[in-house]
Each structure stands twice: as structure tokens, then as C-alpha cells.
Structure 1
């Protein structure tokens, strides 16, 4: 359990942020593979890009390392909704000394974060040999390429979900106060007597924080507190938590598929089937689920041949809808 004390001043300064780069770097971590069914197609596609594209530094950290992503790859958002270009420029301008220190932490291990030491992947060692400034530039270039290949076409829909969650939280804060707000974020987050408790395998009691930056995420499978052990003022604690299913449903007008249904059909088809309580077109579903129209069309074809969805024409659009008689017989199925 991580316990973080937040006094009245810190609570007043705390804020929410939506960061595109934070969502990108989250997919580099192994626990991203356990994201919600709604985000699973996005994560799967991103990891495929890591394996196929020429991204040696990111691929080494994500696929060969022990699961630690250096903090400089995801700078703390300086505004509520930063643009990706601004965030990438901050990565590029990271002080060289900090870059090398964080990568050396990968070699030495970070007991505070429960990480054992590990040999640095070859691609990381080669980049470090050219200096911290070179690593920062290479990381920014690779992150931009990763963003363009795996995230940019789908960010508008993803951002809408995250911004809707921030709006929900603003309403809870205004009507019910900060304690209720923090206790509504996730089962792994609890606020009691001025202390924020976040479930963790570590036992850490932290001193009073100047503020906490709260970031909803589509990729994170669980709540987590990210704390800089140097306690630098420009790197306050960050609380990341997964967007609740009911928030996704409110934004997209869908219900989340059950684990049993996702196991039976696969997360992509289960998510599409759950979304079809109301008629929707291929384009609508593609935007909601961060998929290409061709991918959605393929999965809808499979579901239709199985008798789980029907289609009908409405003007120029073809609308799909799940068939209640067949889906009611599925394990914990929607409808």
C-alpha cells in the first residue's frame, strides 16, 4: 500500500490531466496487456507495431527490459490537455544527466519501486554510449513514429472518453467533495483522514505532497501512484487510474462485456457485441473502439454469420444490432 498525505493546500492545488503521451508510454509496460476489453485492440495493435517497426530503443525497453519505463519518456503534463507535439518536445529537451541516471536505474534496480537490477538491452547501451542528449532525441523521434503508427488515427475517440471522465469527476467534486471524488475513482484508491491510499505490492508512507496530478487512462488496468524519489518540485506524485466501465458506457452508449464473454469471443468481438445494444454503423464502431473500419467489418461478419448480430440499411448507412435471442444465451452476455 502506498500512502500519500495531502494537506488542504496540496488538495487545493491538485488537478486532473489528460496526456496522449502517457497513454502511449503506458503500452510499453507489461501490465498494459491486461487493459480493459475496450482498450485491448489498441494495446494489441501498439505492441504489434513495437515488434514490426524500426523502434529499437522503445522495443528494447518494452520487450527486453524488466518492465520499467524511464520517467523522462512521459513528462508530467504541464496543462490539462497537452498536445502530443509539445509533450514530445519536452522529451527531446530532457537534461542529458537525468536521461542517463534514469537508464542507469534500470541496470542498478530500483528497490523503492520493487525492481531488481537488470542488464541493459544492447539497443539501450548503444544509445547511451552516444550521450544523454542523443538518447533523448532518439526517444522523441521513436515516440513520434510510434504515435503516428498506432495512436494518431484513434486519439480523437480516446480523448473524448478521457475528457468525459474528467467532466464526471468535476461534477462529483462540485456536488459531493474531494473525499467522495477520490473514493469514486477506483477500488484500489481510498481517501481517509487526509491520506490517499493506493493499493500496491509496496509498503510506502510518503510525506505531504505539494499536489497530486490525477490522470484517467484507457490503458492502465489498475490504479497506480507514480512518485519521484528525488521529490523534485516539478515532478509531484501522479495518480493514474483506469476509466470506469460506466464512464465508457456513458460516453459510447455501451455496456462493458463480461470476462466470460470476452474469453469466449475474444475481447474485440465481445466489445463490439456489447456496443450493439443500439444500432451502429461500421464507422461508428471503428471510432469507439479504436479500430480500422476494415477490422470492424471483418469481426461484424463473423458475428453475423454466427447469428449474433443483424444488419439493415438506413439511408446510406448499414446499421448493425445484436440479436437478443442468441446473445441472452451467452455467459453473462449483454442484453
Structure 2
């Protein structure tokens, strides 16, 4: 068990974040022991044919038999908008002492494949290939669920308080009297003070109960299981153009197709050869249903698809 001691000031500084790197690394757990991750079995089956070509001489050392991973592989994210490229840069810049010490803590040794000055570079290269093959094609769907959970937790904080929100994170997590207890994560119990460092809460699909740092005294972070995982893979493939048109209408589906980059109402109208007012009506409906969002640049208002729209259309983004 890990127990975080939280002052009232610490409670005010609780933050949420999403980490593409953490989902990438932690997903290796599900491939290693699928029986512990029944909700992710559709994803496991989908990526199995792609795994043979990856560098398992490196990847096999990133998660041990007890589901432990070196902390440097999951740098503490700073926002729900963290990008995989930035996190891979952080992983690649880990100092040699930390790199070797944490590998020994997880594997009992520094694997021969990762010995030498280029060990971190090998890890980054292997993770980048694994991300592209197994995570990137599904990242829009995964990120949408993770950010939706963060939104829900924010509403709980606003309406019922941070303490209630912490108590509802999962069966292995409980809060009371300034103590946040995380069970089912370690055979050895420890208590650590957050002490103004800020606690980051990170929803993850590959907990399955909770995820904590291995290093004693590491920056406070807690991975917890998000809501809605049971329906995450209920639709395996994105809808076809015809399906999407039947769902939201031909005109609005065509507008979403054109928004490959932020565009103005006038731009879209010219492309479709209709009046700007006609496009404006459709864009306002798409905005109200959460499929597009405006962004102002000077005097212009540009429209771009939301993550929900990307999920519907099957488009990819980092």
C-alpha cells in the first residue's frame, strides 16, 4: 500500500493529466498477461498480428513479471494535452545513473541489450515503433475516453468536493482525514508526504487497479481506472462515409471531411459552392453537438474538428 499525506493546500493543487507514454508502456502489461485485462482483449487481439516485427529484445525488459516498470519510462505529465513526442524526448534524456538503477530495480540487472551509452536511445526507438504499430491507430479513441473521465472528475470536484472525487477513483483507492491510500499496488507499504509538490491524477486503461511510482520519494502521481472502459472497444472500426452521413447528415459529414485543418466559414462555403450562411448554420449545429470547435485568429473565426469528431471519422492526431 502507498499512502499519500495531503494537506488542505495539497488538495487544492490536485491536477489531472493524460500520458501517451504511460499508456504505451503500461499497455505492455496487457500483452504480457491478457487475463488480467479482460476489458482490453479486443485491442490485444487486434494488435497481435503486428507485434512480431517489433524490437522485443528491448521491449521485454520494460515490464517485469510483477507488472513493474522503471519510472523514467512514465515521466509525470503536466496536462491532458501531453504529446508522445515530448515524452519520448524526456525518456531519451534520462541520466545514466537513474536509467541503470531503475532497470536493476525492475529486472535485477541492467540487461545486456541496454548496457552502454546508447541504452536510452534503444528504448526510445523501440517505444516509438511500438507506439506507431499498437497505440497510435487507437489513440483518438483511447484519449477521448481518458479526457471524458477527467471532465467527469472535474464536475465531481465542483459539485461535491475533492475528497469525494478521490474516494470515487476506484476500489483500491480511498481518502479520509488527509490520507490518500492506494491498495493492491505493492507488497511493501510506505507513506509519503505530498508536501506542496502537487498530486497528479492520471486515468489509465492499463492499471488495472492503480499505478504508482516505484521510486520512494518520486514526484506524486497516481494512475487510476477511468469510467466507461467496458464500451471502449464496442465499435472496432470507424464508420464508413455512408454510415457517417446517415448519422449526422450528408452536408455536415462533408464539412467534417473538409476540416482537415482549421478553416473559416467562407473557406468551407467556397469549397462546397454554397452560401456562407448555409455553412454557418451547419457549423453551429456541429458545434452544439460537440463535433467542431471555434478558435479565433485575429478577426477570423476558424473551425476545427473535436476529438469526438476524430473518433467518429477515424482520423489520427498525436
Matched, 1:241 2:224: yes
Deviations 1:98-137 (A, max 9, x none): 11111122354xxxxxxxxxx66xxx21321x23xx1111
Query: Is contact 1:32–1:221 with CA below 8 Å preserved after alignment?
Result: no
Q: Decide whether the 8 Å contact of 1:33 with 1:43 is kept in 2.
A: no
The corresponding residue for 2:113 is: 126
TM-score if structure 2 supplies the norm length? 0.67
Alignment-derived partner of residue 206 in structure 1: 191
Structure 1 residues 287 and 16: CA distance shift in structure 2, 3 A? farther
- SS across alignment from 1:28: helix
**Which residue number in structure 2 is paired with residue 78 of structure 1?**
78
TM-aligned CA distance change 1:226 to 1:14, over 3 Å = same
Query: Would the alpha carbon gap of residues 71 and 50 (structure 1) be closer, same or farther in structure 2, given more than 3 Å must change?
Result: farther
Shift of 1:49: 4.2
For 2:170 and 2:244, the matched residues in 1 are separated by 42
Aligned residues: 241
Q: How does 1:183-202 map to 2 (within 5 A)?
A: 183-200=167-184, 201-202=186-187
Cα distance in 1 between the residues matched to 2:5 and 2:245 = 57
1:172 maps to which of 125, 147, 156: 156
Maintained 8 Å contact 1:223/1:239:
yes
Q: Aligned in 2, Cα 1:13/1:32: closer, same or farther, shift over 3 Å?
A: farther
Deviation (angstroms), 1:76: 1.2
Q: CA deviation at 1:315?
A: 9.4
> Residues 157 and 66 from structure 1, CA distance in 2 versus in 1: closer, same or farther, beyond 3 angstroms?
closer
1:286 to 232, 237, 244: 237
Q: 1:22 matched to which residue of 2?
A: 22
Equivalent pair of 1:35/1:218 in contact (CA under 8 Å) = no
SS at match of 1:286: coil
State how 1:37-76 maps to structure 2 within 5 Å. 37=39, 39-46=40-47, 49-62=50-63, 67-76=67-76
Asked if the contact 1:51/1:59 (under 8 Å) is kept, the reply is no
Runs of 5+ in structure 2 lacking a partner?
Answer: 248-318
Partner residue in 2 for 1:323: none
Aligned to 2:276: none
Match in the other structure for 1:34: 36
Higher mean alpha-carbon deviation, 79-88 vs 167-176, is at: 79-88
Distance in 2 (alpha carbons) for counterparts of 1:66 and 1:51: 23
Given that residues 68 and 214 in structure 2 are in contact (C-alpha distance below 8 angstroms), is that contact kept between their aligned partners in structure 1?
A: no
Q: 1:65 to 1:225 in 2, by over 3 A?
A: closer
SS at match of 2:193: coil
Tell me the distance in 1 between the aligned counterparts of 2:53 and 2:243: 40
CA distance in 2, matches of 1:40, 1:315: 26
- Are the equivalent residues in 2 in contact too, given 1:25–1:74 (CA < 8 A)? yes
Deviates more, 1:79-88 or 1:25-34: 25-34
Asked if structure 2 preserves the Cα contact closer than 8 Å seen for 1:162 and 1:216, the reply is yes
| Partner of residue 225 from structure 1, selected from 208, 212, 220 | 212
Cα RMSD, aligned residues only: 2.9
> How far 1:162 moved relative to its partner?
0.5
CA distance in 1, matches of 2:86, 2:119: 18
Stretches of structure 1 that go unaligned for 5 or more consecutive residues are 109-118, 257-270, 273-283, 294-312, 319-335
Partner of 1:151: 135
